[in-house]
């Protein structure tokens, strides 16, 4: 069965392609390579033995998107990762984010309607909860006003999808990711941040390997056990596997309703300092870091209530923080070796 994975050369997409292929699906990857490299297709092939089909297409172009489906009339479902995702950048360039993330979604949905494809898995984010009033956050926890144009594209996309599902032409599962980190245990694929990373874990590994001088820890005056913010970090492999489960649920008509939302987290919150400690433990490296001012827009704490996803999907994140950090470090070391 052929599945279209948009953004499949990206971080989460590439890990999901591996899991899909290993579960027996045939995969077509579409990506415009704005935030990833084509070599990832070969890397996927190294792990699974099969390099997936690849189409270099910008999904914000409706004609190209239509052509993609014309070329692959046997696509049965779409997993949609393709998006711009840098929160700070989205504040500076909101129109690019709306054009890219919203137009791409609409183009895909229109083409899917024309080609009568009914199954859609969407990458949403816990950013839609903002600083929630109740913790842990459940799927029913009210969404807050988005704090960035990026976050708003996720809210708007969820609303568009819900509206389209109501017409009866689409079945959808929206997956709200918490903080994906880590890399494939083979160290053949992982996160490839372009330029200076925004996110904590690639910043930690790049500092430890000498690409960055020092990690800035943004604030230690939050109301948490050590004063640094809390997030629910989830291994990218656990996240990837959840997509295969969600896809099967849809294809086997096991959805409770054609519009479903699931939180994908571990249910455990860790502070920034705990993440650093875990890194130092598994890598044997002392990390150079300094506490600085808070970063604008950061929330204090968030972690998932995973009960609903665990029960309904029969899926549970199983990899712990040390395993996440070890795989992230192995990936950084492998990249250094490759770039020698
Ligand atoms: P990523 O940047 O590594 O992957 C996204 C891919 O989409 C990239 O390869 C990029 O080149 C491609 N792309 C972007 N716009 C495109 C377009 N118009 N046409 C074709 N390809 C396009 O990001 P990721 O971390 O793998 O994130 C995947 C999805 O998960 C995104 O939708 C992101 O918003 C969402 N998400 C990510 C996180 C996270 O922390 N990484 C958290 C929550 C949600
Ligand atoms: N942090 C630092 N120093 C850094 C980078 C991050 O101290 O150099 C801290 C942040 O202040 C925060 C924590 O590490 O407390 C995690 O920060 P990230 O930037 O790694 O992750 P965020 O929770 O801010 O946001 C990420 C993605 C968003 C997504 C969100 C929820 O960047 O796109 O997770 O999925 F919406």
Q: Which residue has the tokens 């390997």?
A: 209
Domain limits, CATH 3.90.25.10, in the chain: 200-231+267-334
Q: What is the pLDDT along the chain (340 residues), one digit of tens a residue?
A: 999 999 999 999 999 999 999 999 999 999 999 999 999 999 999 999 999 999 999 999 999 999 999 999 999 999 999 999 999 999 999 999 999 999 999 999 999 999 999 999 999 999 999 999 999 999 999 999 998 999 999 999 999 999 999 999 999 999 999 999 999 999 999 999 889 999 999 999 999 999 999 999 999 999 999 999 999 999 999 999 999 999 999 999 999 999 999 999 999 999 999 999 999 999 999 999 999 999 988 999 999 999 999 999 999 999 999 999 999 999 999 999 998 8
Tokens of 5: 């994975």
What is the distance between the alpha carbons of residues 186 and 135, in angstroms, rounded to a whole number? 35
Where in the chain are all domains bearing CATH 3.40.50.720? 2-182+234-264
Burial code of 308-333, b = ≥16 C-beta within 10 A, e = fewer?
Answer: bbeebbebebebebebbbbbbbbbbe
Six token digits for residue 331: 């990936």
Q: Is 150 a catalytic residue?
A: yes
What does the angle CA 191 – CA 270 – CA 215 come to, to the nearest 5 degrees?
Answer: 55
Question: In terms of CATH architecture, what is 200-231+267-334?
Answer: Alpha-Beta Complex (3.90)
- Distance from residue 87's CA to the centre of ligand 2 (Å): 9
Say how many C-beta atoms besides its own lie within 10 A of residue 289's C-beta. Answer: 16
| Residue 203 beta carbon below 6 angstroms from any ligand 2 atom | yes
Nearest residue by C-alpha to atom 28 in ligand 1: 81
Q: What is the pTM of this model?
A: 0.98
Hey, is 169 helix, strand or coil? coil
Q: What sign does the dihedral 301-198-315-238 (CA atoms) show?
A: negative
Q: Which fold has domain 2-182+234-264?
A: Rossmann fold (3.40.50)
Ligand nearest to the CA of 154: 1
Question: For 180, what's the count of Cα atoms within 13 Å in the CB-facing half-sphere?
Answer: 26
Distance 233 CA to ligand 2 centre (A): 10
State the virtual CA torsion across 303, 207, 326, 34 in degrees, nearest 10: 70
**276 CA distance to ligand 2 middle (Å):** 13
Is the CB of 208 inside a 6 Å radius of any atom of ligand 1? no
From the candidates 11, 25, 129, 150, give the one annotated as an active-site residue: 150
Beta bridge partners of 31: 56
Ligand nearest to the CA of 64: 1
The residue behind tokens 């479903």 is 260
Q: For residues 260 and 197, give the distance between their C-alpha atoms in angstroms, rounded to a whole number.
A: 32
């Amino acid at each position: 069965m052929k599945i279209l994975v948009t953004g499949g050369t990206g971080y989460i997409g590439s890990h999901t392609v591996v899991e899909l292929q290993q579960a027996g699906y045939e995969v077509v990857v579409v990506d415009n390579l704005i935030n990833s490299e084509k070599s990832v297709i070969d890397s996927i092939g190294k792990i699974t033995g099969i390099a997936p089909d690849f189409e270099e297409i910008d999904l914000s172009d409706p004609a190209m998107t239509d052509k993609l489906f014309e070329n692959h009339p046997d696509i049965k479902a779409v997993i949609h990762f393709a998006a711009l995702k840098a929160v700070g950048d989205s504040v500076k360039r909101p129109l690019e984010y709306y054009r890219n993330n919203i137009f791409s979604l609409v183009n895909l949905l229109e083409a899917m309607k024309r080609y009568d494809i009914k199954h859609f898995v969407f990458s949403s984010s816990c950013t839609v909860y903002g600083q929630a009033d109740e913790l842990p956050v459940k799927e029913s926890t009210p969404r807050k006003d988005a704090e960035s144009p990026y976050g708003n594209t996720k809210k708007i996309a969820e609303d568009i999808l819900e509206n389209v599902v109501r017409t009866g032409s689409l079945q959808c599962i929206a997956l709200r990711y918490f903080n994906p980190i880590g890399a494939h245990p083979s160290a053949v694929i992982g996160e490839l941040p372009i330029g200076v990373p925004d996110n904590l874990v690639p910043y930690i590994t790049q500092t430890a390997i000498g690409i960055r001088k020092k990690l800035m820890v943004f604030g230690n005056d939050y109301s948490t056990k050590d004063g640094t913010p809390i997030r629910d970090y989830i291994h990218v492999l656990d996240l990837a596997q959840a997509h295969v489960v969600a896809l099967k649920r849809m294809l086997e008509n096991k959805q409770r309703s054609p519009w479903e939302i699931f939180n994908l987290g571990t249910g455990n919150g860790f502070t920034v300092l705990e993440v650093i400690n875990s890194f130092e433990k598994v890598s044997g490296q002392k990390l150079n870091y300094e506490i600085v001012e808070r970063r604008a827009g950061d929330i204090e704490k968030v972690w998932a209530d995973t009960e609903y996803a665990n029960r309904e999907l029969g899926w549970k994140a199983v990899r712990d923080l040390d395993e996440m950090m070890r795989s992230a470090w192995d990936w950084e070391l492998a990249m250094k070796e490759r770039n020698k």
